[in-house]
Structure 1
Amino acid sequence: MNSKTSYIIALIFLVITVLASYVGFQIERDFGRIDVQTITIPTEEKQPMVAKLYRPISATAQTPKPALLALHGYQSDKEATNTFGALELAKRGFVVLAIDHFGHGYSTKLPASNKTISGANNGYQYLKTLPFVDKDRLGIFGHSTGALNAIRVAKLNPDHKAVNGLSSNGGDPALHNYLLTQGLYEEIGGYREKTFPVKDLVNHPARLKAFSLPENATLQWNQTYGSFDNGTARRAALVDGTHLGVMIAEQSNKEAILWFNQALQNGVKDQDWLDPNDQTYWYKEFSGLIALFSAILSALFLINGLLKRPYFSAITQQISEKTALSTRKWWIFAGINIVLTMLLYPIFTQWGGANEPIAAKLEFMPLEMGNGIISWLLVSAVINLLFFVLWKKANPTVSLQEFGVLNHASISLKSLVLRALLLSTIAVGYLYILTCLVHAWLGVELRFLWPLLKPLTLERAELFIVYWLPILLFFFAFNGLIIGVQMKQPLQKTFSATLMRWSIKTVIFAVSGLFILWLFHFIPDFMQIGPGFDVIGLPQFGGRWMMMLAVIIPQFIVFIVINHWCYLKTGYIYLGVFFTSMLMAWILVGGQVIGRFLA
């Protein structure tokens, strides 16, 4: 494939990215029925807080509508509220304000504040100032920590009319019209009263007290207690999902629609009303996924075209047909890596999360959850480097030059590395410019369910190098030396066949350890025995970090495929190492929580 063809294909995927983003833009606005604006709202802290305001076009100063504050959870952002109510409720006549809590998304100027609950109360007060909002019909909903903050905001503001806590606790008798959306397979202890299985919560004293039921009563799932008229309505809706599963479930959206319709619209089905099953948020999420993958493919074809240019063609070479290990040893080493992953991930990610020690001592590393990932990657990198050095000493005939680590006579090692770095920077820069343009024009991000490629605030951009360097070390040690040299696989007949076979086998030895951990934790949970680590008495290794595997595993699989693609295109390890490590650093600093978030 020549340069011109590569550039044309890159352009085609660029167009697909824009078109998919535009479809997402239209879905979010329900094709003209909702006005959506990204705004910066004033705060008590005198620092900007970014939010997204959904205003049904029927909401005017003459016809004010009920309003809802939407609160995302820990390690998330305002865009995630689309999956658990923001979009579907706005389609049905509710004004919705979805904020980026302080330390999340684009609201990065301040850490958590007890006074305003990470900025959540600022959002509630702002809703009251809008002329198209009926100030007598206000509600709050949130997921996970956002649900806990919704409860706190409600208790600060007795003028609220209804609350929905998704993946939350039982609430408080002081709340008005409280809907709890409970996941049947909830894995985080605090959201199931630190007991298991979830089905036994119907007799838990804390839940009975929260619902104002007698001590010897049994809480009935999916039954409404009390009265909407006097604010005593209560309901525990049981959803077939995990902690994150509740966030994206259609049933969660339906429960919220029906609850707020009763509490804030008196059950009236006006001109904005739609059937609760008529939900479109998944279409928006998949439009973001298509845009994301199209953008990455566009960048890869841009790289392919540039590699045909003389300056960058110098960093390509014929790929060796040699392998360093026999088939038997390859699988033995794969097994060792799987076991190491199963040990290292749950242990060293404990250095990240709420109140972790690194951010408290190193001000230049403020990403709480991110520090757990970095700790795990750094320890893994050191072990992989030591393992590789010992293996190389035992196998001195393995040529690092032939396997694409060292240079050939036609180019110096310095030039090889710097040109690979430059090409990676061009590709990531291209993606970043595209991301910023799409966001500025359409207000959407290249994402699927979770923050992925997004514009960076200045505060986040300043963190890029700090977090990229340890990620680079891991990718060099593992993706470069281990995958590219020690575990290098035989070439197949075609480029596509090689890419597919290499990727599948690498996923087996690189990601299986994480997948086994996920299975160990969730299979007994799905069987209603309880989360795996809780069952064996080690709940500290479960919780958020097992939940995060659903996010980490797909990302690692994509990075593996991209890394192999780069190696097969160049014959050297450096382009893949630089490009994938930059992408991961971007995702990390763009989407991770900065500082402490109230939990």
Structure 2
Amino acid sequence: MKTNRRKWAGLLAALLACSALCMALAYAVQTDFGGVRVTTQVLQTPRGEIAYKLYRPASATEQQPAPGVLLLHGYQNDKDTSAAYAVELARRGAVVVALDEYGHGSTAVPMRERGYVDHKLNTSYGLDREGDGSLVEISGPVRYRVMMNFSNLSFFRDRYSTDSHGNKIQDSSMGGIEGYALLAGLPYVDSTRLGISGHSMGTWASWSTAAAYAGAVGAQGKDIAPRAVVLQCGELFTEDAYDPGSTYFNNVLLLTAKYDEFNYFRDFQNTVSDALLDTPLRLGFLGVEDGARWNTTYGDFSDGSARRCELIRTNHRLTTHDGHAISAAMDWFGDALELDTDLAATDQRYQIKEIAGLAAMLLAIAAMIPLMELLLTIPFFKKVVQPLPDRPARLKTGGRYWREAALTILIAGLSYPFMTQLGHGLLPVPENIFRMTIGNGFLSWYLLLSAVMLITMIVQWKRSKKRGQPLDYYDLGFSGPQQAGRIDWFLCGRGALLACCMVGFLYGLTVLYQAVFQLDLRFIWPFFRGFSAERFGQFLVYLPVFLLFFLLNNSKVFAQMIKPSTLRPGLRGFVQDWYKNALCMTGGVLLMILLEYLPFFAGIGPGADLLFGTTFGGPFMSLMIVFVPQVLVFSVLCTYCYRRTANIYTGGVTVACMACWIVTGGSAIL
């Protein structure tokens, strides 16, 4: 026993040491190995606190002020999603402010402060005409109206930005205006050489911020209007949408993702092709009459007329970390802001940070296993371990297993686009309680799947009695063999407490990394970050539904579908068991990925848009590439926990807490 304890303790220490080293490497790249000072701060505004991250190169001084760039992230992201652009700009001598926009990250101002109206446009702003039916009346929850108005900007004409009920778009910069003022006022920043870049939702914030500072004059009487705007998957509009008399935009680069899941970023066309550049909207943006080409600059930087459409062969979310996109942005800012650098645009280090951060996160999660093993040596937790049910009649083999697996995959996959979008916008929940917009999408989907799993469990229970081989709670993973006739609540409590210790350990490590390295556990997008009091309250609100779903899911996938490989010891048995469990847990979303992207890659268009309509495309379809990897990690944890303890509590509660943490830790809050 002591030998095993030492081995587990040694493994835990080794994993933590490697995780910390990876995080230290990520921090070194973030700070350009000491050449850039990075600080995380809070800006006080009339609407509340706005969090931001400041990157200050050592070369930026009051005697030699440097250009500055404001970075604005996309929906469901935060300031560290802008890290790739921030790292590369700071390496080239620019001071960077990366903002947490309203309702995101650590900013206290809720997303509803953006404002909303009771109508939306089903075409690009400025292309509609009175009476053509493109301005559609909407109603429903506040979150729905806010999201339906993301592309409606506060500097647009009153026809768009106000309604007859007294509602209006209040601040579509989502804090960008305050962030820009902060950047322009820094003593080591040259306020005459400022730029803005935003991704997705952040592109509308970029337009709004740039419009607010068009013709603006700083304290010294100098023009502080943005000299460059880089839109990472942005939407275009015409001058008919606003009053161009006092509003203008200097040197705009539009990065267009070839496989953008959001139709308004591809001008409401099914695909992004050369023909897209021949539309009046794109020709007007580029300032040419015909013959426009991708990756070609039109106009002149000196008078602010430079325009360019860069085609990036990636999807919507990955534009934030695409090498081609970042290279184009570095060249653009270099020309517009006159960056003094010898670095080529293709000289990029940000991926080292991201890979190191990914390794740090995976090592930290892996460290939960030896921690669990050490806790299982404590007498209180020893009783969590039960023998695996060795009941040959219950084992799912061959066609019997695959029929159940296929049904599980189909139900999860086919319900995903509908239930997530229903919850995202229209699920009738109290909005002052259930405030996580993406969380409501998963809430809806998980509740449906939980109901399906409960029904199938009851059906199997009754059928087993008719066959004379009744199921018991041991078969379902709710009890051990000694308490097979009822749910073992003591086992439940001990298993849940063990899971809380594991998740608490991961949370403590996350908070430590944020304090020491100013980095949380993520890869590109937010995963595990420290809670504010408000967000922890939301975690507690959503957790019961996540617990219900993941406990039932663990019962279904691990206990009710127990396989011969579950009983096989060693690594080979684990791998054989895990891949089937992983397929059941992710198969439905993998099916939707194929449905979405195969026709897209074939040049037809995104599958969800074509089959279900554009209402069911967009956020949750693009979210799948983030969702699948995290569930694969969950499947590893759950497989290990079930094989080790033969109950659903430790694995189910652990991944329920982790999934709820991801959803409530930094994503959009109404």
Partner of 2:256: 182
The residue correspondences of 1:503-522 to structure 2 (distance < 5 A) are: 503-522=578-597
For 1:204 and 1:586, the matched residues in 2 are separated by: 44
What CA deviation, in whole Å up to 9, does each residue of 1:211-255 have, x standing for no partner? 2333xx132100100000100000001111111122220011100
Structure 1 residue 342 and structure 2 residue 408: aligned?
Answer: no
For 1:44 and 1:356, the matched residues in 2 are separated by: 31
Within the candidate set 146, 164, 182, 2:202 is matched to 146
Partner of 1:438: 513
Structure 1 residue 413 and structure 2 residue 463: aligned?
Answer: no
SS at match of 1:163: strand
Q: RCO (CA 8 Å, sep 6+): is it higher in 1 or 2?
A: 1
SS at match of 2:33: helix
Within the candidate set 13, 16, 34, 1:14 is matched to 16
What CA deviation, in whole Å up to 9, does each residue of 1:484-534 have, x standing for no partner? 222111135423222211211122233222112111111121122211122
Within the candidate set 190, 195, 207, 2:269 is matched to 195
For 2:646 and 2:567, the matched residues in 1 are separated by: 15
Whether the aligned pair in 2 keeps the contact of 1:54 and 1:90 (CA below 8 Å) is yes
- Quote the offset at 1:483 in angstroms: 1.2
**Structure 1-normalised TM-score?**
0.94
- Quote the offset at 1:42 in angstroms: 2.4
- Quote the offset at 1:428 in angstroms: 1.0
Which residue identity does 2:176 align to in structure 1?
A
Within the candidate set 281, 301, 325, 2:396 is matched to 325
What CA deviation, in whole Å up to 9, does each residue of 1:283-308 have, x standing for no partner? 10111111111111112211111112
For 2:589 and 2:500, the matched residues in 1 are separated by: 30
- Quote the offset at 1:193 in angstroms: 1.1
For 1:313 and 1:402, the matched residues in 2 are separated by: 20
Of 325-334 and 564-573, more deviation after overlay is shown by: 325-334
The residue correspondences of 1:417-428 to structure 2 (distance < 5 A) are: 417-428=492-503
For 1:414 and 1:197, the matched residues in 2 are separated by: 54
Which residue identity does 2:522 align to in structure 1?
R
The residue correspondences of 1:247-326 to structure 2 (distance < 5 A) are: 247-265=320-338, 270=340, 272-322=341-391, 323-326=394-397
For 2:384 and 2:611, the matched residues in 1 are separated by: 51
The residue correspondences of 1:214-229 to structure 2 (distance < 5 A) are: 214=289, 217-229=290-302
Partner of 1:137: 193
Partner of 2:159: none
Partner of 2:628: 553
Of 90-99 and 299-308, more deviation after overlay is shown by: 299-308
Whether the aligned pair in 2 keeps the contact of 1:93 and 1:273 (CA below 8 Å) is no
Whether the aligned pair in 2 keeps the contact of 1:356 and 1:368 (CA below 8 Å) is no
For 2:612 and 2:664, the matched residues in 1 are separated by: 33
- Quote the offset at 1:54 in angstroms: 0.5
Which residue identity does 1:246 align to in structure 2?
T
- Quote the offset at 1:342 in angstroms: 2.2
For 1:31 and 1:310, the matched residues in 2 are separated by: 47
Change (3 A) 1:402 1:180: closer
Whether the aligned pair in 2 keeps the contact of 1:26 and 1:32 (CA below 8 Å) is yes
For 1:204 and 1:391, the matched residues in 2 are separated by: 58
For 1:196 and 1:407, the matched residues in 2 are separated by: 54
Which residue identity does 1:483 align to in structure 2?
V
- Quote the offset at 1:51 in angstroms: 0.4
Partner of 1:457: 532
Partner of 1:27: 29
Within the candidate set 471, 481, 496, 2:546 is matched to 471
Whether the aligned pair in 1 keeps the contact of 2:172 and 2:208 (CA below 8 Å) is no
- Quote the offset at 1:442 in angstroms: 1.1
Structure 1 residue 364 and structure 2 residue 433: aligned?
Answer: yes
Of 403-412 and 293-302, more deviation after overlay is shown by: 403-412
Which residue identity does 1:273 align to in structure 2?
D
Structure 1 residue 38 and structure 2 residue 40: aligned?
Answer: yes
Structure 1 residue 70 and structure 2 residue 71: aligned?
Answer: yes
For 2:65 and 2:237, the matched residues in 1 are separated by: 29
Partner of 2:98: 98
What CA deviation, in whole Å up to 9, does each residue of 1:45-99 have, x standing for no partner? 2x1111000111000000001100000000000001013x111011001111001
Change (3 A) 1:55 1:470: same
SS at match of 1:240: strand
Change (3 A) 1:233 1:552: same
SS at match of 1:365: coil
Which residue identity does 2:406 align to in structure 1?
G
For 1:546 and 1:402, the matched residues in 2 are separated by: 36
Structure 1 residue 572 and structure 2 residue 647: aligned?
Answer: yes
- Quote the offset at 1:333 in angstroms: 1.1
Q: CA RMSD in A?
A: 1.8
Change (3 A) 1:72 1:345: same
Which residue identity does 2:77 align to in structure 1?
S
For 2:183 and 2:303, the matched residues in 1 are separated by: 23
Task: Write out the 4+ residue segments of structure 1 that deviate beyond 6 Å after TM superposition.
Answer: none
For 1:589 and 1:522, the matched residues in 2 are separated by: 28
Which residue identity does 1:59 align to in structure 2?
A
- Quote the offset at 1:395 in angstroms: 1.2
For 2:656 and 2:259, the matched residues in 1 are separated by: 33
For 2:326 and 2:556, the matched residues in 1 are separated by: 45
For 2:513 and 2:410, the matched residues in 1 are separated by: 42
Which residue identity does 2:407 align to in structure 1?
I
Within the candidate set 464, 486, 498, 1:395 is matched to 464
What CA deviation, in whole Å up to 9, does each residue of 1:2-21 have, x standing for no partner? 22221221111111121111
Whether the aligned pair in 1 keeps the contact of 2:78 and 2:667 (CA below 8 Å) is no
SS at match of 1:168: coil
Whether the aligned pair in 2 keeps the contact of 1:320 and 1:403 (CA below 8 Å) is no
Which residue identity does 1:180 align to in structure 2?
L
For 1:518 and 1:409, the matched residues in 2 are separated by: 44
Partner of 2:234: 168
Change (3 A) 1:157 1:172: farther
For 2:407 and 2:477, the matched residues in 1 are separated by: 24
SS at match of 1:225: coil
What CA deviation, in whole Å up to 9, does each residue of 1:343-364 have, x standing for no partner? 21011011244x54546x3311
For 2:97 and 2:546, the matched residues in 1 are separated by: 36
Name structure 2 gaps, 5 residues minimum: 115-169, 215-224, 240-247
Partner of 2:163: none
SS at match of 1:2: helix
Partner of 2:59: 58
Change (3 A) 1:357 1:376: closer
SS at match of 1:350: helix
For 1:150 and 1:433, the matched residues in 2 are separated by: 35
For 2:610 and 2:646, the matched residues in 1 are separated by: 47
Change (3 A) 1:97 1:172: farther
Whether the aligned pair in 2 keeps the contact of 1:170 and 1:211 (CA below 8 Å) is no
For 2:559 and 2:172, the matched residues in 1 are separated by: 53
- Quote the offset at 1:205 in angstroms: 2.1
Whether the aligned pair in 2 keeps the contact of 1:171 and 1:180 (CA below 8 Å) is no
What CA deviation, in whole Å up to 9, does each residue of 1:20-42 have, x standing for no partner? 11111110001011111111112
Partner of 2:306: 233
For 2:610 and 2:500, the matched residues in 1 are separated by: 46
Partner of 2:219: none
Whether the aligned pair in 1 keeps the contact of 2:558 and 2:581 (CA below 8 Å) is no
